[in-house]
Amino acid sequence: MRLCVFALIPSGCFAHEPDKLATYHKLTAAINRAKDAGDIQTLREIAEDPHGFILRQGWASLDFSDAAELAQLRRLHETLQLEIIAVLEAQNRLRERPDYELCQLSEQKPGVLEELAAERARLLDKESAELEKEATKLAEEIKELSGEMPSRIT
């Protein structure tokens, strides 16, 4: 789900001020990029101090002194807080998955997947040999009990 700041601060508020409209669009893009990247720090930075964030980027200042614009900014803040929670929960769900640990391990230790696959192949070969040995033994027992040679299982 993509955060849509356009619904929170209508771009029409800045329609006659191209520099502020550009800042509005840049802020919206920064929020969406941070959300998509799971960049909680940037989302918090924008939520806690949007004016400071805008100034640090070197963008034109946006004036939210109007009561309606202030209410919209509050809704933006609330939405950002909800998005932060959603991203944190998604990260936690990812970290709880068993393949996450394997992925982390493979990034930290290149070649670990090949080692694990080789070990698994060795175990499967060993199990296969044991099963083949057991099948041969059972075939011999069947032959002794029935007096006939059973067809070989392969």
The per-residue pLDDT for range 14-66, each reduced to its tens digit, is 667 788 888 888 988 998 898 888 888 998 898 888 889 999 999 988 766 66
Residue in 28, 32, 35, 4 with CA at minimum distance from that of residue 14: 28
pLDDT tier, 68 (very low <50, low <70, confident <90, very high otherwise): low
State if pTM tops 0.85: no
- Angstrom CA distances, 4 to 7, 101, 153, stand at 6, 33, 63
What is d(CA 120, CA 1) in angstroms, rounded to the nearest whole number?
39
**pLDDT of the residue at 56:** 93
Q: Where are the beta strands (DSSP E) in the chain?
A: none
Arithmetic mean of pLDDT, 122-149? 90
Among all chains, which residue has been given the structure tokens 């202030």? 70
**pLDDT of the residue at 8:** 46
In this structure, what is the dihedral angle of CA atoms 16, 27, 48, 74, given to the nearest 10 degrees?
50
Among all chains, which residue has been given the structure tokens 């060993």? 126
What is d(CA 34, CA 18) in angstroms, rounded to the nearest whole number?
24
Do 11 and 22 form a contact (C-beta atoms < 8 A)?
no
What is d(CA 77, CA 45) in angstroms, rounded to the nearest whole number?
11
